[in-house]
Structure formats: C-alpha cells, structure tokens
Amino acid sequence: MIYTITLNPSIDYVMEVEGFEEGTINRASKTNYYPGGKGINVSRVLKRLGADTMALGYAAGFTGNFIKEKLIEEQVAVKLLEVDGHSRINVKLKAGMETEINGTGPLVDDDAVKRLLQQLNQLSSEDIVVLAGSIPSTVPSDIYETLIQKCQQHEAKVVLDTGGQTLKSLLSYKPFFIKPNHHELGDLFGVTIQTQGEVIHYAGKIHEQGVENVVVSMAGEGAILYTRSGVYFAKAPRGEVKNSVGAGDSLVAGFLAGYVKSRTSEEALRYGIASGSATAFSYDLCQKTDVYNLINLVEVEKL
C-alpha cells in the first residue's frame, strides 16, 4: 500500500476570468473545485494508475467533508482525521497571468498528532509513505521527523516531496525517494546549478548520504535519476503545456506506481515522466490512458 500524508489539504477553487480588472466586479467564465494538497494529488493519480493507495492527514468542517466526499467519488481510500476549524480554500485565478490566494488551515493539536501516529502502527516493510508539502504553521514544526521515525519503526519506505530547510534537515533519515528540481537541489548546497553535469554531481552527493532514489526535474528538459544501479536521463515528451499545477505530484505518483509494478527505478522513472507530462498537457491531473499514450515516448538513457 502507498500511503500519502497531507497535513493541510485544501479545496482548490479554480476560476477562469477573461480580462480581469482590479477594483471592480469580474465574472468567471469557468469554475472548478478540486480536492487539493500535494499528498492528495499523489493519491488521486496513484488511484487512476491502478495502484493501492490511502490518503491520510487532517480535515475540518464542511470544507473537509467536501474533500473527503470528492476522494470517495474517485474511489480513493481516505482516512483523514477530523480536527477543529475548517480545511482551507485555495483560490487559483486564471486571467492572463495565474494568481493564487492560499487560505489558512485548521489547528492541529498534540492529540491530533497522536491519532495520526496511531494510524501508522499498521505499516509494514511492504508499505510506502509519502510525506508531501510544506509544514503549515498550525502543525508542530518537527512533525515530519516524528512521522519518519514512526515509519522507520515499521520498516516502511519514506518518500519526501518537500523542499528548503525542511528537506535538508531530513536527509539524514535516508528517505527512499526525493524529487527536487535543479533549483531546489542547488539550494541544498548553496550553489546555482546550470548544467546536467552539475545536476549529476550534486545528486550523487545526496545519494551518498543514503537516499536511494534522487530524481532531479529540469522542467521541460526532462529529469535525472541517480540510483544504486546508475545514473539515468529521461527526456520529456513534447506537447502543449496547459497546466503546471500537480505535474510534480503526478511525477511522484507515476514513479511509485511504476516502481511497485516493475521493482526497477529505471522503469519507475519512465512512468514518472509520462505521468508528470500527461498532467502538464491536461487541464486536470492525468488519466491512465494519457499516461500510457506517453510512456513509449519517454526516452531513458543510462549515462
């Protein structure tokens, strides 16, 4: 089973407005509501790719109920814990330039953390746990460390999809998989990375610290995988980019679905790039048919 933990899920309220004008009434030409949050996105894509997944984390109020209902509609197993307050609403305004306004989430107290840790007692060495997103201010700042320690007690693999100081401080726990882009990789070492050779050099330094799979995404240029069997470059297929939201989460989901299916990191990379690209070429998260249409177009080369 692949578990995802989203500490601060959201309703993503997407509004398309033609000719937006500040300070006056604007009418949306199109609106959509989606359950959001990085871990939630990973679970949604995993389910579409046929992988066993369960969404964990927190939900609150009528907005939290909406998130759970939408996940259930998509047949995603969900065990979001109830807390006080309301789950946040993130507004994404598409009007020429894209603007985001992210809401605040509910308060997660010590009791809520204990309940989440209790859920992880069911883990085994066959499981993968995805910790995705930044740590919200309403949650204890060391919660990822606490969750990783619980996962490792049960020998479950840990995936970290976060960045900045949070990621840097957690590398010593030797996660199974991380996915920084080349800018984030450079930030970990205080350098600016511009070439493929530099990506390989610094990804290797992360791998040497015990991270089994390091995937460094380079936007439309593809991605580098540094793993125990070697270094691989995957060239992204060409297409019209319609959506940037969730492409990275889809790459994570595709990589894990591919790994569970093939047990090889090279094939997992192919699935990941196809999934991320399929989302980028869609207006929502990718569908299975879109991913499989792209898989054979992903060129993977061992460097």
* Catalytic residue positions, numbered: 249
Question: Measuring CA to CA, how many Å separate 56 from each of 53, 212, 255?
Answer: 10, 24, 20
Task: Report CA 30 to chain centroid distance, whole Å.
Answer: 26
CA distance 109 to 127: 27
Edge-to-edge order in the sheet of strand 30-36: 30-36, 10-16, 88-95, 97-102
User: Cβ distance 170 to 160 under 8 Å?
Assistant: yes
The beta strand positions in 96-127, using DSSP E, are 97-102
69 close to 18: Cβ distance less than 8 angstroms: no
> Exposed, middle or buried by CB within 10 Å (0-12, 13-18, 19+), for 288?
middle
Q: Is the CB of residue 21 less than 8 Å from the CB of residue 38?
A: no
